[in-house]
A and B are shown apart, each in its own frame.
Chain A
Amino acid sequence: MYNKSLKQLSTSLQNKELSSVELSQYFLDRIKRYDGELNSVITLNEEAALAEAAQADKIIHAGNAGPLTGIPLLHKDIFCTKGLRTSCGSKMLDNFIAPYSATAVNKLTQAGTVMLGKTNMDEFAMGSSNETSFYGAVKNPWDLKTVPGGSSGGSAAAVAARLAPIASGTDTGGSIRQPAAFCGITGIKPTYGSVSRYGMIAFASSLDQAGSMAKSAEDAAYMLQAMSGFDEKDSTSVDRPPADLVSGLGDSIKGLTIGLPKEFFGDDLDDEMRQKVEAAIDSIKSAGASIKEISLPNINLSVPAYYVVAPAECSANLSRFDGVRFGYRCESPKDLEDLYKRSRGEGFGDEVKRRIMMGAYVLSAGYYDAYYKKAQQVRRLIKQDFVNAFKEVDIIASATAPSVAFTAGEKTDDPVSMYLSDTFTIGVNLAGLPGMSVPCGYINKMPVGLQLIGNYYDESRLLNVAHQYQQLTDWHTHVPAGFEE
């Protein structure tokens, strides 16, 4: 049952072979059984989930079910959920219960999904290994000594271990794609502006984008379809008719051109990694696509540009956590300054503080032009590189991450090496493009991710290329050892 596709689950529900209550209970039980060691879930929503499931069963009985009605899922703990704690992986929000739900959550609830709980994440989505969470590190189900990636590591680990069929994630610099790669699942970050950011706690507003994490491209497409759409509460949400992400799955990809940026296949790419990615590209080629080498001349500047823009935005976005109106407040503050300093000093973890300080620095008088302004200029160049590339190709492919999941603790003392683990994914956020990761094999028994990047608003084609690849391969159906019962 745990490995069934959304389509199969939906059919079973609608044929009354299975109720949503039973299905939800089944996954709740798996969470209880397996999550003790994985630590992928921060807050379980058992009682309310079963009530939602019972409601879904009524809708199914009334014959009004959609493709997601009665499907259990997990939400990354960055999405506000009315009445259920939203911690963002931080001590700062350990006591925070939002009086509203994020638009993406509401849309999925309206589609009939059942929220089983909230997944663990790097604190305020800042991290690439899920080791910065106040609630402890998440473990990779493929090898508990390794990290699941981050920041949506909880969602990735949970889907990989089949603790839920699907989970939401957010991606600011690779936070959906890199953990998807590390955990051997499929994850997509759509075009910036596709999914409303309302109610999604901001890390870097111009880069943050929510997406779906699932076993397959098809499942990811169903989920993303339900999350997307214009929202008047988010000024950066794009007002255009929602694309049909599902009905194009199955179209032939004959005649499509896949671009391989030479900068992503340079000498520094690990040989085994290159082999796996090239094999995956060969499969796509075998389905009728042609391959073309392209260049993204400024892409090597994406990590430094990102580590100016993202901290700058986060330094302001996280100012509201001041101990005054909600969240953590230090004990008996002496005065206002003490209240601020200790509430923030005690409430935030090291990585968050590091980024706030970097951000405040690059925006400060005398440094703004040299850092923030320059980084924005670089960002435009990177975007233009992609725009030029998409004049020649339909999809761009590369490895999702330079390596497979690394050992826990390996990079925690070396932030720069941690930051470099997002080197292939960050450019996509700077440009605002849709990107995804699909599993494409193993190195030392750890999953490898193939990154596919689409043109603006071309998620439908992007998902179909991934789907066609998954028709030819079965990596996405593999379940890590120990989670198969």
Chain B
Amino acid sequence: MQWETVIGLEIHAQLATQSKIFSGASVAYGAEPNTQACAVDLGLPGTLPVLNEQAVRFAVKFGLAIGAEIAPYSVFARKNYFYPDLPKGYQTSQFDLPIVGLGEIDIIVDGETRTIGVTRAHLEEDAGKSLHEDYQGMTGVDLNRAGTPLLEIVSEPDMRSAAEAVAYVKTLHSLVQYLGICDGNMQEGSFRCDVNISMRPMGQEEFGTRAEIKNLNSFRFIEKAIAHEIDRQVDLLESGQKIVQETRLYDSNKDETRSMRSKEEANDYRYFPDPDLLPVEITTELLDEMRSELPELPAAKKSRFQQQYKLSEYDASVLTVQRVQADYYEQAVSASNGEAKLVANWLMGELSAALNKESLDISKSPVSAERLGGLVSRIADQTISGKIAKKVFELMWSSDDSADEIIEREGLKQISDTGALEKMIDQLMADNTAQVEQFRAGKTKMLGFFVGQLMKQTQGKANPQELNKLLQEKLKG
């Protein structure tokens, strides 16, 4: 039977606020356990939550960016369950009245654009974490993360393959960073993903029973977990078994998913409106203010890059994935006097490779956009060749000098002086009359010999176009 995969995603994006969603404690990552948990985060008796307005503004920004309806009135609810890392015994979240309603987002897979519906996005607090090591058989609880603001973004079941799911996650990942509402750091858990997967016979309207895979924190794991889960479900279905509605965990070491709890074991969360918090009211003034703060979004930037810089769709989409990268590109183009294509090649080629090698983000690049632009402009005006430029780039990487300073100091300037090149050619031809004869007898491959010799003499500095032209003329006689 032909099976169709149906995927819906829940993404938890940690909002890049200074303090927690309901307390003044810091959200900085990596502090000693329980040093960033105040009385409110510890759920001490008598403490009360006060909503962080910045978190609300971030949620509104996100909603506007996906063209969603922003609820003029949304409500926090208590989701009740017991766990040691959940200090109050309930998570403060939003339930039937979320702040962001139905919106959508375009993804591109294999050159095709697809629109994925976003059902809702709501604000909630993160839990703390349990530490199972180093406590002599006991479990430690670290509540630094408790109360960290999250935006949970829930998609419609609109995706049909792992590739689409990954494209959706990547698109959102890029979007939240563009908006400046999430740092997107997946290793630190700032952006994590739950995947709902079900299968149905191709052509069937009705959805199959779904399984949910929790807490995937890399694009690769998402892809592998989905692929594995599709295989598992198809195997079960084809052998006549039923899919159990359950929560599963992906084990990246074993590359498999395994059951955490089934629907029967699932909690009844007994949601009800949190009486400690007032409903969140969004005024038109706030909406206007947030709208005016929206940056150019990835899709718009990409199509502008294609038009303004005459880039291919591929180049434009690579360059606009990250806002810092797009900004770097535009600064470098401007410093290169508009060498858009050449800068794109250098950024995606030499620079990316060098950054990858040292695991650096482009925002930490040792070669600034201005300096890269300066280098590219010297290639464009033929001061140096592309080959020499690579050498200059290496020297720039390990110093603060400009391309011009390095070219000058190292004497790397290209020889484009026709007179000087002609003299060298004449001498070379005089020294190698046999080869000249061969060329003239029709062995045109001999041209390479002369180019090679001259490049050797000039240490690669001869202007290759000029050199070729002159050699052709002279050899032909």
Q: Do A and B bind each other?
A: yes
Measuring CB to CB, which residues of chain A are less than 8 angstroms from any residue of chain B? 79-80, 86, 88, 93, 96, 98-100, 102, 197-202, 204-206, 232-236, 312-313, 315-316, 318-322, 324-326, 336, 340, 360, 363-365, 368, 372
Assuming the contacts A205-B276, A235-B276, A313-B275, asked whether A322 and B89 have C-beta atoms less than 8 A apart, the reply is yes
> Are B80 and A234 touching (Cβ within 8 A)?
no
Closest 8 CB pairs of A and B: A319-B89, A206-B275, A363-B270, A205-B275, A199-B46, A320-B43, A201-B45, A80-B46
Q: B18-56, CB under 8 A of A: which get 1 and which 0?
A: 000000000000000000000100111111111100000
CB < 8 Å neighbour of B84 from A93, A99, A324? A324
CB < 8 Å neighbour of B88 from A198, A233, A319, A340? A319
> Are A364 and B270 touching (Cβ within 8 A)?
yes
A80-B44 Cα distance, complex, nearest whole Å? 10
Residues of B within 8 A of A86 (CB): 45-46
User: What total count of A-B pairs have CB within 8 Å?
Assistant: 103
Nearest CB on B from A82, distance (A) = 11
> Are A316 and B46 touching (Cβ within 8 A)?
no
B374 proximal to A (CB < 8 A): no
- Chain B interface category by residue count: 20 to 34
Chain A: CB-nearest residue to B23: A233
Residues of B within 8 A of A336 (CB): 84
B268 proximal to A (CB < 8 A): yes
> Are B90 and A319 touching (Cβ within 8 A)?
yes
B87 proximal to A (CB < 8 A): yes
Residues of B within 8 A of A325 (CB): 42-44, 87, 141
> Are B272 and A312 touching (Cβ within 8 A)?
yes
B277 proximal to A (CB < 8 A): yes
The prevalent SS among residues of A at the interface is: loop
Residues of B within 8 A of A96 (CB): 45
CB < 8 Å neighbour of A322 from B44, B82, B271, B277? B82
Residues of B within 8 A of A204 (CB): 275
A325-B41 Cα distance, complex, nearest whole Å? 11
B120 proximal to A (CB < 8 A): no
Query: 18 additional contacts, CB 8 Å, given A79-B46, A100-B46?
Result: A86-B45, A88-B45, A102-B46, A197-B46, A198-B47, A202-B45, A206-B275, A235-B49, A235-B276, A235-B277, A316-B88, A319-B80, A320-B44, A320-B88, A320-B89, A322-B82, A322-B89, A324-B87
B122 proximal to A (CB < 8 A): no
Chain B: CB-nearest residue to A96: B45
A324-B130 Cα distance, complex, nearest whole Å? 12
Nearest CB on B from A238, distance (A) = 11
Residues of A within 8 A of B294 (CB): none
Measuring CB to CB, which residues of chain B are less than 8 angstroms from any residue of chain A? 39, 42-51, 78, 80, 82, 84, 87-90, 141, 268, 270-272, 275-278
Residues of B within 8 A of A99 (CB): 39, 44
Residues of A within 8 A of B272 (CB): 312-313, 316, 363, 368, 372
A198-B47 Cα distance, complex, nearest whole Å? 6
Residues of A within 8 A of B80 (CB): 315-316, 319, 360, 363
> Are B275 and A98 touching (Cβ within 8 A)?
no
A75-B83 Cα distance, complex, nearest whole Å? 33
A312-B278 Cα distance, complex, nearest whole Å? 18
> Are B90 and A365 touching (Cβ within 8 A)?
no
A475-B244 Cα distance, complex, nearest whole Å? 71
> Are A236 and B45 touching (Cβ within 8 A)?
no
A48-B47 Cα distance, complex, nearest whole Å? 24
> Are A364 and B268 touching (Cβ within 8 A)?
yes
Residues of A within 8 A of B49 (CB): 235
Interface centre among B46, B87, B141, B276 (most CB of A within 10 A): B46
Assuming the contacts A98-B44, A205-B275, A233-B50, asked whether A340 and B82 have C-beta atoms less than 8 A apart, the reply is yes
> Are B141 and A324 touching (Cβ within 8 A)?
yes
Interface centre among B39, B89, B268 (most CB of A within 10 A): B89
Chain A: CB-nearest residue to B76: A235
Residues of A within 8 A of B51 (CB): 235
> Are B84 and A316 touching (Cβ within 8 A)?
no
A45-B370 Cα distance, complex, nearest whole Å? 70
Assuming the contacts A316-B80, A320-B87, A325-B87, asked whether A198 and B45 have C-beta atoms less than 8 A apart, the reply is no
A224-B331 Cα distance, complex, nearest whole Å? 64
> Are A198 and B43 touching (Cβ within 8 A)?
no
Chain B: CB-nearest residue to A80: B46
A236-B76 Cα distance, complex, nearest whole Å? 13
A52-B54 Cα distance, complex, nearest whole Å? 41
Residues of B within 8 A of A365 (CB): 268, 270
A340-B319 Cα distance, complex, nearest whole Å? 53
Q: List 19 A-B contacts (CB under 8 A).
A: A79-B46, A86-B45, A96-B45, A197-B46, A198-B46, A198-B47, A200-B46, A201-B45, A206-B275, A234-B48, A235-B276, A236-B278, A316-B90, A316-B270, A319-B88, A322-B84, A324-B84, A326-B44, A363-B270
Chain B: CB-nearest residue to A327: B45
> Are B50 and A80 touching (Cβ within 8 A)?
no
Nearest CB on A from B267, distance (A) = 10
Assuming the contacts A235-B278, A320-B89, A363-B80, asked whether A98 and B45 have C-beta atoms less than 8 A apart, the reply is yes
Interface centre among A312, A315, A325 (most CB of B within 10 A): A325
A315-B88 Cα distance, complex, nearest whole Å? 11
CB < 8 Å neighbour of B276 from A98, A236, A321, A322? A236
Residues of A within 8 A of B50 (CB): 232-235
> Are A93 and B268 touching (Cβ within 8 A)?
no
Chain A: CB-nearest residue to B45: A201
Nearest CB on A from B270, distance (A) = 4
Residues of A within 8 A of B44 (CB): 98-100, 320, 325-326
A199-B82 Cα distance, complex, nearest whole Å? 23
Residues of A within 8 A of B268 (CB): 364-365
A102-B39 Cα distance, complex, nearest whole Å? 12
Residues of A within 8 A of B45 (CB): 80, 86, 88, 93, 96, 98, 201-202, 320-321, 326
Residues of B within 8 A of A319 (CB): 80, 82, 88-90
Residues of B within 8 A of A324 (CB): 84, 87, 141
> Are B48 and A198 touching (Cβ within 8 A)?
yes
A364-B271 Cα distance, complex, nearest whole Å? 8
Chain B: CB-nearest residue to A196: B48
> Are A316 and B48 touching (Cβ within 8 A)?
no
A232-B48 Cα distance, complex, nearest whole Å? 10
Chain B: CB-nearest residue to A344: B82
A234-B44 Cα distance, complex, nearest whole Å? 15
Residues of B within 8 A of A315 (CB): 80, 270
Residues of A within 8 A of B90 (CB): 316, 319
A165-B42 Cα distance, complex, nearest whole Å? 36
> Are B39 and A235 touching (Cβ within 8 A)?
no
CB < 8 Å neighbour of A202 from B39, B46, B82, B277? B46
Residues of A within 8 A of B48 (CB): 197-198, 233-235
Nearest CB on B from A453, distance (A) = 22
Interface centre among A234, A236, A313, A324 (most CB of B within 10 A): A324
A204-B48 Cα distance, complex, nearest whole Å? 13
A235-B56 Cα distance, complex, nearest whole Å? 15
Assuming the contacts A96-B45, A199-B46, A336-B84, asked whether A316 and B78 have C-beta atoms less than 8 A apart, the reply is yes
A123-B44 Cα distance, complex, nearest whole Å? 17
Interface centre among B43, B276, B278 (most CB of A within 10 A): B276
A319-B39 Cα distance, complex, nearest whole Å? 16
A234-B50 Cα distance, complex, nearest whole Å? 7
Chain B: CB-nearest residue to A319: B89
Residues of A within 8 A of B270 (CB): 315-316, 360, 363-365, 368
Residues of B within 8 A of A88 (CB): 45
Residues of B within 8 A of A201 (CB): 45-46
